[in-house]
């Protein structure tokens, strides 16, 4: 048993299902240890029908905060006392801060990409961005890019329903006074998509295309002439670490430092949440070293 747990220890956790595989407890408890904070972070099985009870328990037990994962993100958003701008636009919450019983919902998934890009030396401010996908991850990224000053975000999605949903979110963002040119198209408009990528600063792939095991080895970008040394390519997929899109970008003129996979998104959305929970920066370098050591040890076992 952890000897640092006391009568005053504050509880945080992640809710969702399935939850046993979650890497969040290891990540946050490492950071609490790093700062010597009297906090502990656990994982709790919770489906959508249990969200209201779980939120009541958060208040009752005076939990400091929680992360929310699938399938509870939307139901959590519907039951918050307050929402951050990103959570309000997306209609989903992945981080809850409990301030004396007042629960504020935040969405840091998009922040995960923006902060990871920043960690690689790229800002989204004033940039032309092409975004593939209109699912949960894509919408969080679209909204965060707009909030962080992107010049334009052009969204391409497989279904017309997804395009319409993205458009509605985009309209809400603009009605709130956020200046960002946004337009929305079907992925089947392949010529337009490739042309937009060719002239973009940043391409963000936020569909599940390329993900192991079902969609591994495929990419939505089929015209290799769109890649060039100034284009930044970000793929939210983290398994495999190098997707077909990333391989193609590297083989056709993109610089290695400008081709980024989704592993850092996990870390940086956590860094965003950690700051909301504690007001402190997540010790990302130390955490990366700790997680790499753990991975190496697990491979040996």
Catalytic residue among 64, 73, 88, 127: 73
| Per-position DSSP letters for 1-23, written without gaps between them | --TT--TTPEEEEEEESS-TT-S
User: Site for ligand NAD (CB under 6 A): which residue of 16, 110, 133, 270?
Assistant: 133
246 binds ligand NAD (CB under 6 A): no
> Cα(149)–Cα(67) distance, rounded to whole angstroms?
26
Question: Residue 173 interacts with ligand NAD (CB under 6 A)?
Answer: no
Applying CB under 6 A, the span of 4-12, 95-103, 122-130, 235-243 interacting with ligand NAD comes to 235-243
**Which residues in the 63-122 window bind ligand NAD by CB under 6 A?**
109, 112
Torsions phi, psi of 80, nearest 5?
Answer: -85, 155
For residues 4 and 74, which CB has a smaller minimum distance to ligand NAD in the complex?
Answer: 74
Contacts within 8 Å (CB) and 24+ apart, 288-297 = 290/30, 291/26, 291/27, 294/26
Q: Is 166 in the site for ligand NAD (CB under 6 A)?
A: no
Backbone angles phi, psi at 22, to 5 degrees: -60, 135
Residue in 164, 208, 217, 289 binding ligand NAD, rule: CB under 6 A: 208
Member of 170, 262, 270, 272 binding ligand NAD (CB under 6 A): 262
**Residue 221, interface with ligand NAD (CB under 6 A)?**
no
Q: The tokens of 162 are what? A: 């997804």
Whole-angstrom distance, CA of residue 294 vs CA of residue 229 = 35
Contact flag: residue 137 with ligand NAD (CB under 6 A): yes
Minimum gap (Å) between residue 153 Cβ and ligand NAD:
14
d(CA 169, CA 24): 29
- Exactly one of 66, 83, 143, 209 binds ligand NAD (CB under 6 A); that residue is 209
Task: Select from 87, 231, 236, 273 the one that contacts ligand NAD (CB under 6 A).
Answer: 236
| Nearest distance, CB of residue 141 and ligand NAD, angstroms | 9
Q: For residue 242, give the DSSP letter.
A: S
Cα 199-202-206 angle, rounded to 5 deg: 120
Cα within 13 Å of Cα(174), Cβ side: 13
Q: Which residue is nearest to ligand NAD (CB)?
A: 135
Return the structure tokens found at 185. 């198209």
d(CA 186, CA 219): 16
Count of residues touching ligand NAD (by CB under 6 A)? 24
Listed residue (75, 88, 96) closest to 169, CA to CA: 88
Identify any residues that bridge with 128 across adjacent strands, giving them in sequence order.
Answer: 152
127 catalytically annotated: no
* 240 near ligand NAD, judged by CB under 6 A: no
Enter the DSSP assignment of 65.
Answer: E
Residue 266 is a binding residue for ligand NAD (CB under 6 A): yes
**Which positions from 27 to 66 touch ligand NAD by CB under 6 A, shown as an x/- string?**
----------------------------------------
The CA distance from 260 to 257, in Å, is 7
* Binds ligand NAD by CB under 6 A, chosen from 115, 138, 142, 273: 138
Residues forming the active site: 73
Instruction: Give me the residues that bind ligand NAD (CB under 6 A), please.
Output: 109, 112, 133-138, 157-159, 162, 187, 206-209, 211, 236-238, 262, 265-266
């Amino acid at each position: 048993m952890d000897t640092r747990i006391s009568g005053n220890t504050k509880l945080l956790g992640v809710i969702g299902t399935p939850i046993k595989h979650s890497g969040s407890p290891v990540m946050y408890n490492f950071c609490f240890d790093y700062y010597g904070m009297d906090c502990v972070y656990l994982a709790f099985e919770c489906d959508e029908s249990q969200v209201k009870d779980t939120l009541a328990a958060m208040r009752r037990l005076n939990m400091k905060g929680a992360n929310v994962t699938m399938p509870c993100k939307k139901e959590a958003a519907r039951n918050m006392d307050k929402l951050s701008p990103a959570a309000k636009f997306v209609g989903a919450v992945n981080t809850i801060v409990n301030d004396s019983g007042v629960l504020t919902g935040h969405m840091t998934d998009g922040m995960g990409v923006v902060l990871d890009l920043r960690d690689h030396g790229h800002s989204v401010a004033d940039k032309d961005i092409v975004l593939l996908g209109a699912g949960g991850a894509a919408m969080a990224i679209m909204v965060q890019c707009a909030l962080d000053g992107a010049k334009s975000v052009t969204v391409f999605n497989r279904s017309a329903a997804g395009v319409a949903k993205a458009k509605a979110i985009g309209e809400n963002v603009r009605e709130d006074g956020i200046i960002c040119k946004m337009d929305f198209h079907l992925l089947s408009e392949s010529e337009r998509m490739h042309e937009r990528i060719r002239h973009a600063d940043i391409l963000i792939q936020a569909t599940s295309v390329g993900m192991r095991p079902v969609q591994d080895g495929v990419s939505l970008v089929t015209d290799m002439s769109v890649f060039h040394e100034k284009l930044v390519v970000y793929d939210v997929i983290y398994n495999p670490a190098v997707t077909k899109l990333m391989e193609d970008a590297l083989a056709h003129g993109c610089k290695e430092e400008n081709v980024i996979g989704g592993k850092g998104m996990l870390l940086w959305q956590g860094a965003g949440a950690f700051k909301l929970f504690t007001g402190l920066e997540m010790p990302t370098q130390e955490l990366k070293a700790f997680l790499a050591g753990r991975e190496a040890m697990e491979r040996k076992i």
